[in-house]
């Protein structure tokens, strides 16, 4: 079956498709009804061609794997995954209440309402962490509400699993939404996924009670300076208990930042709890998981191998990836280089493919290849030019698990010879792996 666009169509003889609910860059979401049980569900329709074109299949696999692991009353449930030749279908729990964000944009919430959502959020995140899952993109837009007004965490596309950690026990991929990101995530030095999620929860609590962000500035660098120093001001209607709790959550030092377990013991947090906070997950519904397993296998992604490959690369910080937060607009990444010796391009290919292609180009140009650590490939010419032997360093940065920035820099030799070689030989030879060169718009 092709893309479902019309109401009343039945998907794979199981789900009757209803109204359109929304869309993202690579997916559309529809309301649907189980033909046999009449249960309401949401179906996320993902375009395979678009996903594979930009190399986001790993992200799809991660989202499926994580949602199958985290079964909790306050996490949106994934019932099953199906696929056709051109589409992938996520059959999800239907959150009738929509995004929590829609409530926040109308203004601050009452203290008791904000506390209820915060209790449910922390309960779900605490459970996720116990399963070795870190969300990494918590914000009101990713928090949905069911028909009873209970919170449901969604969108685990940027989540990280415990096995993604490096030998130092920290995560190194910078991601998340700028205003909600923890200061240590910006630093490129690695971060504890659990502590980073706690920070985002603190920002969400502030937003629920204030109706606006704690860290906001039209100047991005100034906003990150405020985040780094945890420089914010609580409005006068915040109770003293909330101010004290926020001080412990929005602690710029992750080593002393409060944990989810300690938050759940906080007196203000524990007020008006109905039978305590749920820490155990709910049982897996009686659905056939065969389709889900089949889709995972068909995507053919080896997450462990991918993780090892990524561990060898450098990572861009949040200043670098901010331009990707709105529809993958890469223009912000391609500011004019400080030196005339640099050329940059974005690729949606795996790092191994990029390195392999660069090696092929080097051999074609009769350059010697000298590999270096941290995703740097050094290429040295075989004959001397006007200013000695031409040497080019190609460094690969991870922007997201599926996008890489490659910076090619002349470290020796004549600049004019370098740019001539770039134009006439290097750029044409790399066309198969380049998504966009510096100063050029990416092509979808």
| Residue ranges of domains in the chain | 10-94, 98-270, 308-437
- Going by pLDDT thresholds of 50, 70 and 90, the confidence category of residue 18 is very high
Residue 306 pLDDT: 36
Report, as an integer, the average pLDDT of 13-37.
Answer: 86
Q: How many CA atoms lie within 13 A of 4 on its CB side?
A: 32
Which pLDDT score is estimated for 329?
35
Which runs of E-coded beta strand occur in 291-402?
314-315, 342-347, 368-371, 376-385, 388-400
What confidence score (pLDDT) does residue 187 get?
Answer: 67
Q: What are phi and psi of 105, to 5 degrees?
A: -65, -20
- Rounded CA-CA distance 73/192 in Å is 25
Read off the pLDDT of each residue in 58-81 and give the average, rounded to a whole number: 78
Mean pLDDT of the region 211-238: 87
More confident residue, 167 or 135: 135
Residue 41, pLDDT above cutoff 90: yes
Q: Band of the pLDDT at 322, cuts 50, 70, 90?
A: very low
Answer yes or no: 288 catalytic.
Answer: no
Give the active site residue among 58, 126, 137, 192: 137
pTM for the complete prediction? 0.61
> Stretch 312-338: mean pLDDT, rounded?
37
User: Helices marked H in 211-344 — which ranges?
Assistant: 220-229, 240-249, 260-263, 267-270, 290-299, 303-310, 318-321
Residue 4 has pLDDT above 50, yes or no: no
Predicted confidence at residue 316, as pLDDT, reads: 40
CATH number for 10-94: choose from 3.90.650.10, 3.90.70.10, 3.40.640.10, 3.30.200.20: 3.30.200.20
Task: Considering only residues 256 and 137, tell me which one the structure prediction assigns the higher pLDDT.
Answer: 256
Q: What is the CATH number of domain 98-270?
A: 1.10.510.10
Name 43's bridge partners.
Answer: 30, 91
Q: How many residues does the chain have?
A: 444
What is the average pLDDT value for the chain, to the nearest integer? 75
The answer on pLDDT for 439 being more than 60 is no
Q: Looking at per-residue confidence, does 64 or 277 come out higher?
A: 64
98-270 with 308-437: one CATH topology? Answer: no
Dig out the tokens for 392 from the structure. Answer: 């080019």
Provide the pLDDT for residue 29.
Answer: 87
* SS3 of residue 431 by DSSP: coil
Residue 180: which pLDDT band, with cuts at 50, 70 and 90? Answer: confident
Contact 374, 398 (CB under 8 A): no
363-384 per-position pLDDT tens digit? 888 898 877 665 678 888 888 8
56-65, 96-105, 159-168: range with lowest mean pLDDT: 159-168
Q: What's the pLDDT at 159? A: 39
Q: Is 44 annotated as a binding residue?
A: yes
Q: What is the band of 284 on the pLDDT scale with cuts at 50, 70, 90?
A: very low
What topology is assigned to 308-437 in CATH?
Answer: TATA-Binding Protein (3.30.310)
**93-121 burial string, b = 16+ CB within 10 Å, else e?**
bbbebebbeebbeeebbebeebbbbbbbb
């Amino acid at each position: 079956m092709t893309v479902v666009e019309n109401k009343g169509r039945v998907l794979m003889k199981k789900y009757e498709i209803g109204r359109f609910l929304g869309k993202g860059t690579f997916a559309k979401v529809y309301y649907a009804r189980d033909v046999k049980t009449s249960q309401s569900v949401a179906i996320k329709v993902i375009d395979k061609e678009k996903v594979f074109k930009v190399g986001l299949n790993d992200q799809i696999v991660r989202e499926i794997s994580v949602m199958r692991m985290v079964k909790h009353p306050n996490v949106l449930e994934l019932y099953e995954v199906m696929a056709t030749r051109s589409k992938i279908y996520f059959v999800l729990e239907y959150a009738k209440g929509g995004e929590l964000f829609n409530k926040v944009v109308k203004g601050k919430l009452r203290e008791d309402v904000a506390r209820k959502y915060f209790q449910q959020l922390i309960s779900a995140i605490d459970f996720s962490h116990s399963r070795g899952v870190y969300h990494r993109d918590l914000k009101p837009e990713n928090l949905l509400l069911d028909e009873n007004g209970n919170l449901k965490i969604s969108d685990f596309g940027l989540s990280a699993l415990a096995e993604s950690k490096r030998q130092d026990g920290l995560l190194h991929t910078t991601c998340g939404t700028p205003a909600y990101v923890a200061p240590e995530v910006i630093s490129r030095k690695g971060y504890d996924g659990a502590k980073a999620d706690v920070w985002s929860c603190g920002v969400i609590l502030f937003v629920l009670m204030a109706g606006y962000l704690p860290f906001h500035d039209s100047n991005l660098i100034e906003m990150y300076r405020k985040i780094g120093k945890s420089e914010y001001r609580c409005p006068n209607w915040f109770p003293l208990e909330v101010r004290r709790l926020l001080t412990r959550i929005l602690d710029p030092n992750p080593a002393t930042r409060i944990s989810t377990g300690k938050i759940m013991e906080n007196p203000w947090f524990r007020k008006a709890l109905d039978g305590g906070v749920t820490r155990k997950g709910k049982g897996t519904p009686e659905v056939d998981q065969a389709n889900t397993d089949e889709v995972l296998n068909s995507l053919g992604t080896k997450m462990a191998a991918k993780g090892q490959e990524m561990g060898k690369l450098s990572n861009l910080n949040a200043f670098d990836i901010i331009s990707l937060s709105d529809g993958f607009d890469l223009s912000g990444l391609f500011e004019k280089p400080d030196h005339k010796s640099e050329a940059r391009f974005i690729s949606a290919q795996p790092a191994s493919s990029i390195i392999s292609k660069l090696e092929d180009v080097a051999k074609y140009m009769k350059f010697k290849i000298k590999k270096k650590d941290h995703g740097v490939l050094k290429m040295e010419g075989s004959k001397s030019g006007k200013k000695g032997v031409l040497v080019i360093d190609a460094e690969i940065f991870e922007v997201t698990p599926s996008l890489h920035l490659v910076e090619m820099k002349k470290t020796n030799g004549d600049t004019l010879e370098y740019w001539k070689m770039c134009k006439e030989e290097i750029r044409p030879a790399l066309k198969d792996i380049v998504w966009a060169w510096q100063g050029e718009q990416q092509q979808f």
